[in-house]
Amino acid sequence: MESDTLANVEPVRVEVDVAHVQTLNHTEQFDAAEYVVVRRDVSLPVQLLSNAAARVEKAVLTHTSGNEVQVDAVCRGTSTVVELALPVTTPIGVYQLTLSGKAGERTFQAQLKQKIFVLFNAWSKNDGAFIDGDEERQEYVLKSDCRLYVGNLSGMPWNLALYRPDTLRAVALLLSASSLQFQQLADPIHVSRELSRLVNEKVVLGRWGSTYTGGRPPTFWRGSGQILQQYYNSHGAPVKYGQCWVFSGVFLSVLRVLGFPSRSITNFNSAHDTNRNRTVDQYYNDKGEEVEYLSTGKDTVWNFHCWNEVHVQRPDLHPCFEGWQVVDATPQEESPQGGGYCTGPTSLKAVKEGRSMSYDTDFVIAEVNADIKKYILEDGAPRLFQVDTSTVGKDISTKAVGSDQRVDVTDSYKYPDGSVLERDVLYSNYKELVEANYELSFYVPLVSHTPGSDITLEVHITNSGGKRPVEVVGHVTCSAVIYTGKILRGVDKKVVRQRVGVGATEVVKMGAGERILAEFPGERAYLMFDILLAHNGSVQVFEHKVYVGPTVPKMEVTLSPSSHLALGEEAKVTVQFTNPLPFKMDAVSLNVENDNLLHEDLVHEIGDIGKNATIYYNFNIIGLKIGTFQLVVGLSSDHVQLVTGEAEVVVTGVRESTDGPASLMHLIMTGGKELESLSIMDSITGVDLNTTANRRTHQTDRYESSGGLIVRRGQPITFFLLLGKSLPPGTKFISCATFNLGMRSLSKKHHSFQVDANSMVEGNKIRIELNTPSDAPIGRYYVVLTLDKGGHVMVVEKNIDLILLFNPWCNADTCHYGGCAEDLGEYILSTVGHIWTGTAESSYGRPWQHSQFMKDTLEVSLSLLDQMRESSFDPVMVSQYFATRVTSQDGHGILMNTGSGDYSRGKSPSSWVGSAQVLSEYRKSKSPVKCGQCWVASGLLTTLLRSIGIPTRSVTIYGSACSSLGQDVVQYFTEDGIEVPSPTSIWPYHVLNEVYLARNDLPKGFGGWQVLDSSPQQEREQGTKGVSLGPAPQLAVKRGLGMRHNAEKFSDLVNGLVRSYLIHGDKSLTLAHVDASLVGRKVCTKAVGVAIRGGVAPHDITVDYKDGTSRASLSSTTELTLALDVANDVVIGNSFPVKVMLTNMAARSVQCQVLVTGQGSSHPGDCGHILRCSLNQSLVLEASQVKELGLLVESSDYLWNIGGDGFLKFAAMAVINEGGATKGCLVTSRSVRVKTPDISIDIPTGALHLYKPAVLKVKFANTLGKRLTNGSFHLFGGGHVLDTEMSVGPVSPWSPTEAILETVPLKKGQFQVVVWFTSDQLVDLIGHMQLEVLD
């Protein structure tokens, strides 16, 4: 009997719903029948078909190389669907899926009919090819067309043909030719580098400046589709021919097919540095001819060069170097790091910072930023006569996200030409050649011409500085070249011998016919004029190259009857072209690639077009897909290349049809009997949410009402259904609750989950007990309750509205805080804040009312959570998103940060004393509130995150470095001791946040406090959305580890070096001092449970940020030491001393000059105007002598000039002179806070009682030395007392003023009130006091 059963078991088949699977993987547009295209780190559902119960015991993916990957297989309950978990470490490529297990009592082994093509996953944060942002993924991974900037800034459309079946097959064929080890195929770094070689070795054959017999000239191609199809159909034979833009376009297709976020880049005036010394070295003989001097080859500058970028992580480098990487498939030079003709991946950050690292960084640095050094050979030896620092690397371009606009990304590759940082990157001197006052000046006007006309070059020579006529000698040569600078042939040469009179201008001319450019079949040639002129009898030499390209005729493309098509509708296309050249065009052909409008590519050989002749050509297109598309027609010939005509085509909807309905409706049928309600359930009259008890147990009883019961996830909830009549006690129901994320009024809910509920009758109520998952998304929910009694179901869906928050009291919640209850009282429940500002020597605690339980606060937080939708389950993502939305420079944030100075568009940051003020104004205006600074943003973020249950605190870094990532802070001082602006600076303080989170996404040990910054000092990387850093583990910051969420950037804030340079009169630099003590001087936060009152010190947590290892400071001299002493606190209006201490450490006397200067400084550390007082003294210090110098700063020296945030910055410099030359220099600086008078608060009546009128007595002394007008006191109680304000009359200089403020206590308990004073002359006077209100 058993054998009969076994005999009846059919073979197991494995199938997959391709459309469903590819939709899950964002690969639904691929339609190769033999492949199921998936992305790694996504579950793959497959179905087992068998007439017996089948169980999978093993799932294996076999790669085309023969290697195997075993994957986990999980059955969905009793379903025949098996989920295969593809690891994020899966090597990319083509696999065969084999499942084995048991069907009934028999073992089986079954294979999926289709092959599985595994790609990188730009949607997975665990994948090395991840890129953030849906728009970015749509553009850089999924988009099947782009624009290549070929010789101009207009851009040429290029069809990437990503979704053609032969494209996918061609990429699979290309991968099979890889020399990578199997596991290396899992690494986007190795794969992108290998592909840059394979494209030029296997797919496209490059050729420059020669005949193109046996293939197509590079200018023929308008897309990758024909090339990849030919490559596949020829079984891997390279396609002839390509140049850089063709390599870039084809490489981009391959990269995007495999899942790489990628784009094409064009660099204009691109250097080709053969010996990788970051310079283009050009040598000229005495005939004006450029010659090859070094055996390494001839350096050149290409008119333009196209390459690609991929967005990948770089675990092999410091994390700051991940992101966009240069990869180049054009075979220029063999890589010194192996691999043949390949380039990259090269970090853009490394290129910009001039770092030599993997891979091929020096070559790319030269491409965008090389100096052109020009030598003349005199007796066989080179003499440098000119250095061009600004020609190379112009208008670096790519296509914009979501449009066909050009985006200039030059700033991502290099600092501005001529800037100090740009020169530093090249490790060259600021002036390699001393510019002399030459007698002659040269000017070359731009050359323009019309099609078919002759081309004329002019060189204007002016004798503007001479006292006598001079003779100019030299040569002007004209050559036909290609865009790489390679000479096709010489055209003409002119010997120049020109006399130029005093004050006169002479013009040297040379002409050439454009017809010359048509002599090179298939080649886009240029005329290059090379000018080399010298002042006879002087060392002055002038060299300049001018390139003149061919004019490109226009071609018209029109559609009839319309450019708007319905899906499946055809249109007629007419191409019109007139030959404007004074000669016949030979071998003309048209080429059209478009996967959305053509079933197959169109190539039409037209033949010859006579002089001034016009041709017309017609063809049909059809709307194959819905969307807006560019129809691009390319024309090429032996004489003219890259002629393009374009027309926009819009395809919408479907054609009307009488054969059936215009739309389809899917009917969803449910099995089982119709549900009926129990008659006793019809008596449910309402819902009691048990609000008081739930809010008390969930620690949410202090929240103001916000339209729902406020509870925390992972904790039981109890509520009641009210009945109109009693039921038998103890009656139980099978029940469940469906939580729908979003407001009930929304027609579409974003996310839902179900939980089982315990339901039991208690008198005239049904008691409902349930628990939410500890990882549920937080936000607003409406709950639908289902009760089942004996198959009869009742659905209750009204009046059960909840607000779900994070739960730091729950062990399973990822924001669980394991500390004591007092800590959670501080970091979640405390409304009293203390944000530290000032300086390390004079810390000042600003009071801050968080008001996290106010309705406005929770409403703002909930609106932010609504935007996150189901992503709100993760406190890491939530805290990061909130940080990006707190500050804004683009009109989408809550607060508009302003560094310092002009607050006329809003309120001064110092006028904010609590979050409620900001959030209330934001909700009213629905636009960013003006103005804020880092400490306001930090207080606001603490409020918002505490309101949703994330433990949060504000943290202050004193001496916070502001510089490009990985770079030291650089300060520049003139010889007068004045500090000049620099791209880097030290902020006296910077306030950020910490959140307490488990980090399950990171290795064990990195949970706990995480650093988060909503107003970072550093400039954002191009393309980064929002403005924030973190959350990064505090431990990773301390250890300087590169981890997700910018840990290394936070480490730079507290661990950087300060390099001080002396700028000499000739603009050369001397490194004066390297100081390791100025950055990260102290890190502090408010102490737990400490009331805000005068004299409370901050809680120092520096040890949590710095490892305690001191780094030695370096000086340019060891003969002297220099110390600067300034008062820690200066009350505005008072005078104070500045002292300098010099010690001669040498055994001989030392002559030096000492300078002390002061400048107004803003909170961000910028240098302002110079103070009126200064010290400049020359002296001789004897051996071992100690000398103290002093300077008294009067109020009149700084009151007119103090920085917008009340800081002065003093710098002391000692320059050692010996024999008239500078031998060494010491520099040190110090910031001083100029504080305003404190306001004292007193309660004359003693205790305060709820709702009973009360008075506060406030008082301060005017130290400004001038009368204060339009003064007023403001009382802010954060909702605990009635806010009030009172104007006061003019306040006399040096006299006290006081006022009585009337208020009413509105809540009982302990809390803080803040009083501040404003006037026309003086702001930012603050006082605060801890109060207690009794019944």
On whether the CB atoms of residues 929 and 896 are closer than 8 A, the answer is: yes
Residue 715 has a pLDDT of: 94
pLDDT band at residue 486 under the 50/70/90 scheme: confident
Mean pLDDT, rounded, for 320-342: 89
pLDDT band at residue 665 under the 50/70/90 scheme: very low
* Max intra-chain CA distance, the chain: 122
pLDDT band at residue 753 under the 50/70/90 scheme: confident
On whether the CB atoms of residues 984 and 1079 are closer than 8 A, the answer is: no
Residue 734 has a pLDDT of: 73
Cα(705)–Cα(858) distance, integer angstroms: 9
pLDDT band at residue 845 under the 50/70/90 scheme: confident
Q: Name the nearest CA neighbour of 369 among 301, 283, 437, 441.
A: 301
Q: Of the given ranges (5-14, 159-168, 626-635, 845-854), which has the lowest mean pLDDT?
A: 5-14
**409 CB-near residues (< 8 Å, 6+ apart):** 265, 396, 397, 398, 1022
Per-residue pLDDT of 435-464, as tens digits, reads 445 678 888 887 766 666 778 888 898 887
Q: What's the one-letter identity of residue 867?
A: Q
Q: What percent of the chain has pLDDT over 70?
A: 88
On whether the CB atoms of residues 174 and 253 are closer than 8 A, the answer is: no
Cα(539)–Cα(895) distance, integer angstroms: 60
Residue 250 has a pLDDT of: 97
Q: Of the given ranges (35-44, 419-428, 1041-1050), which has the lowest mean pLDDT?
A: 419-428
Helix (H), strand (E) at residue 338: none
For residue 1293, the Cα-to-chain-centroid distance in whole angstroms is 51
Q: Of the given ranges (218-232, 292-306, 809-823, 1293-1307), which has the lowest mean pLDDT?
A: 292-306
Residue 134 designated active-site: no
Mean pLDDT, rounded, for 268-287: 85
Mean pLDDT, rounded, for 1311-1332: 83
Per-residue pLDDT of 371-390, as tens digits, reads 998 888 887 788 888 888 88
Q: Which of 145, 166, 281, 328 is catalytic?
A: 328
Residue 667 has a pLDDT of: 20
Per-residue pLDDT of 1111-1150, as tens digits, reads 656 666 778 899 999 987 788 888 999 999 999 988 899 9
Residue 309 has a pLDDT of: 97
φ/ψ (deg, to 5) at 308: -130, 165
Q: Which of 146, 244, 320, 1225 is catalytic?
A: 244
Cα(197)–Cα(188) distance, integer angstroms: 14
Residue 305 designated active-site: yes
On whether the CB atoms of residues 876 and 806 are closer than 8 A, the answer is: no
Residue 1110 has a pLDDT of: 57
Handedness of CA 834, 836, 838, 841 (dihedral sign): positive
Q: Compare 495 and 116 and report the one with higher pLDDT.
A: 116
**190 CB-near residues (< 8 Å, 6+ apart):** 180, 184
Distances (CA, A) of 1163 to 288, 900, 935, 1205: 57, 7, 11, 6
Greatest mean pLDDT among 116-125, 817-826, 1048-1057 lies in 116-125
Cα(651)–Cα(122) distance, integer angstroms: 29
Residue 744 has a pLDDT of: 57
Residue 1023 has a pLDDT of: 33
Cα(453)–Cα(447) distance, integer angstroms: 12
Residue 530 designated active-site: no
pTM summary value: 0.53
Q: Which of 305, 311, 475, 1163 is catalytic?
A: 305
Residue 731 has a pLDDT of: 77
Number of CB atoms found within 10 A of residue 558's CB: 12
Q: Compare 408 and 977 and report the one with higher pLDDT.
A: 408
DSSP at 666: P
- DSSP for 71-123 reads EEEEE-TT-SEEEEE--TTPPPEEEEEEEEEEETTEEEEEEBSSEEEEE--TT
| Averaged confidence pLDDT in the chain | 84
DSSP, collapsed to helix, strand or coil, labels residue 890 as: coil
Distances (CA, A) of 421 to 229, 315, 1065, 1229: 47, 27, 19, 22
Radius of gyration for the chain, computed over Cα atoms and rounded to the nearest angstrom:
37
Per-residue pLDDT of 768-806, as tens digits, reads 999 999 998 999 888 888 887 766 667 777 678 899 999
pLDDT at 1083 over 90: yes
Residue 1019 has a pLDDT of: 42
Mean pLDDT, rounded, for 951-965: 85
Number of CB atoms found within 10 A of residue 16's CB: 21
Cα(534)–Cα(494) distance, integer angstroms: 14
pLDDT at 983 over 90: no
Residues in the chain: 1335
Residue 4 has a pLDDT of: 44
CA dihedral 1195, 1197, 1202, 1206 (to 10 degrees): -40
Handedness of CA 744, 746, 748, 753 (dihedral sign): negative
pLDDT at 273 over 60: yes
Cα(214)–Cα(466) distance, integer angstroms: 60
φ/ψ (deg, to 5) at 787: -115, 135
Mean pLDDT, rounded, for 562-588: 88
pLDDT at 524 over 60: yes
Number of CB atoms found within 10 A of residue 564's CB: 15
Q: Name the nearest CA neighbour of 370 among 388, 383, 382.
A: 388
Q: Compare 1277 and 1033 and report the one with higher pLDDT.
A: 1033
Greatest mean pLDDT among 791-795, 846-850, 859-863, 867-871 lies in 859-863
In the sheet that holds 394-399, the strands lie side by side as 343-347, 323-328, 300-312, 262-272, 394-399, 406-408
pLDDT band at residue 1058 under the 50/70/90 scheme: confident
Strands 106-111 and 93-103: antiparallel
* 244-257 vs 225-233: helix crossing angle, rounded to 10: 80
pLDDT at 515 over 80: no
Cα(206)–Cα(248) distance, integer angstroms: 12
Structure tokens at 1028: 């924030």
**Reduced 3-state DSSP string for 608-628:** EECCCCEEEEEEEEECCCCEE
Handedness of CA 1027, 1030, 1034, 1037 (dihedral sign): negative
Strands 1325-1334 and 1309-1318: antiparallel
pLDDT at 43 over 50: yes
pLDDT at 1224 over 50: yes
pLDDT band at residue 680 under the 50/70/90 scheme: very low
Cα(150)–Cα(632) distance, integer angstroms: 15
Residue 1307 has a pLDDT of: 84
In the block, tokens 């979501």 appear at 402
Residue 537 has a pLDDT of: 65
pLDDT at 271 over 50: yes
Handedness of CA 429, 433, 434, 435 (dihedral sign): negative
Number of CB atoms found within 10 A of residue 980's CB: 12
Per-residue pLDDT of 616-649, as tens digits, reads 999 999 988 888 888 999 998 877 778 889 899 9
Mean pLDDT, rounded, for 281-305: 79
Residue 535 CB-half CA count within 13 A:
23
Q: What's the one-letter identity of residue 816?
A: H
On whether the CB atoms of residues 367 and 278 are closer than 8 A, the answer is: no
Q: Of the given ranges (205-209, 663-667, 1045-1049), which has the lowest mean pLDDT?
A: 663-667
Per-residue pLDDT of 915-934, as tens digits, reads 988 998 898 888 888 888 89
Q: Name the nearest CA neighbour of 1075 among 1121, 1116, 1125, 1112.
A: 1112
